[in-house]
Amino acid sequence: MAPMTFTGRLLEKISLSPDTVTLRFSRPPEYKFEAGQFFAITIPSPGEPLKHYFSHCDSPSEGHVELTTRLTGSDFKNALDGLPLGAEAQFEGPMGRFVFRYDAPKIAFLTGGIGITPVRSMLRHLADTGGAGRIEGQELVLFYGCMNEDAIIYKDQLDEFARTIPGLRVVYVITDPTGTWKGHRGFITAEIVRAELDDPGRWTYYIVGPPPMIGAMGKVMEQLGVPESQQVVERFAGYES
Ligand SMILES: Cc1cc2nc3c(=O)[nH]c(=O)nc-3n(C[C@H](O)[C@H](O)[C@H](O)COP(=O)(O)OP(=O)(O)OC[C@H]3O[C@@H](n4cnc5c(N)ncnc54)[C@H](O)[C@@H]3O)c2cc1C
């Protein structure tokens, strides 16, 4: 869909954890995008206006633009966090090709931490549209790596999607869990993918997150022998860790 520019107003700010925040902005009805795409946002700051890129967390089936981000203490993040409700921001979008393949029989999402944003967009859209257009019997597995149980962003919604989207399983991989955690521990590895997917070489992989995550998942792809044509990658350039 052709990119356009528009002005959005801050409608709501939701704190997801001490350093993770969701912001919702208004958008005009003529703004069209596909779940998983990204946009540029420019906000006022004490100096020059500041511009950053964010994946849509929201789905086309919702009525606002939603971004979720980690507050890093950068000039941009401080200005974003300081926006009062009703503040105006400039948007440009949509951009990118990180969009859902309705005709792929087996899709695995490999993501960690903040990288869940465009996946949430796609899953919300599938849930809201009843999965219209999906190939019959399509299997979806979301591998979601987080530092600990409290760091799982959108946990309630992901668990809801696992119950309501046919064929979807959510596999959490927790780096440093509490003693009671019964799921996978550590980072997402080729061994964990092999344990969860039969014939992993035949799946299409959506890989998204900060550059270190992309690098680590690239190695997992090599170990599993997955060709690039079966990988859809979104790199959150700008995050170092
Ligand atoms: C397609 C895309 C989708 C993204 N989606 C999200 C999202 O959903 N949530 C989220 O939190 N973040 C997302 N990001 C990352 C986001 O744009 C910020 O870069 C990130 O949040 C860090 O911002 P910062 O203000 O903390 O760091 P900054 O202080 O802005 O930057 C830290 C370092 O990264 C460099 N840098 C900044 N931007 C870029 C860039 N575009 N390319 C290369 N180097 C850069 C800076 O020069 C600096 O060295 C996305 C990025 C891209 C490209």
Task: Report which protein residue has its CA nearest ligand 1's atom 52.
Answer: 236
CATH 2.40.30.10 is right for the domain spanning 4-95: yes
Q: Report CA(240)–ligand 1 centroid distance (Å).
A: 9
Q: Report CA(235)–ligand 1 centroid distance (Å).
A: 9
**Three-state DSSP state, 39:** strand
Who lines ligand 1 at CB under 6 A? 38, 52-55, 67-70, 72, 74, 76-77, 96, 114, 117, 234, 236-239
Q: Is the dihedral of CA 147, 149, 150, 155 positive or negative?
A: positive
Domain boundary assignment for the chain: 4-95, 106-235
Cα 142 from Cα 123, distance rounded (Å): 10
Probe residue for ligand 1, chosen from 25, 54, 66 as the CB with the greatest number of ligand atoms within 8 Å: 54
As a whole number, mean pLDDT of residues 129-143 equals 97
Q: What is the pTM of this model?
A: 0.95
When the pLDDT of each residue in the chain is averaged and rounded to a whole number, the result is 96
Q: Is the dihedral of CA 141, 226, 34, 38 positive or negative?
A: positive
**Three-state DSSP state, 88:** strand
pLDDT tens for 61-108 read: 999 999 999 999 999 999 999 999 999 999 999 999 999 999 999 999
How do beta strands 64-70 and 50-55 pair? unpaired
Q: Tell me if 40 sits within 8 A of 95, measured CB to CB.
A: yes
Q: Which fold has domain 106-235?
A: Rossmann fold (3.40.50)
CA of 118, closest atom in ligand 1 = 8
Report the interhelical angle of 117-128 vs 155-164 (nearest 10°). 40
Q: Which two tokens stand for residue 137?
A: 């019997």
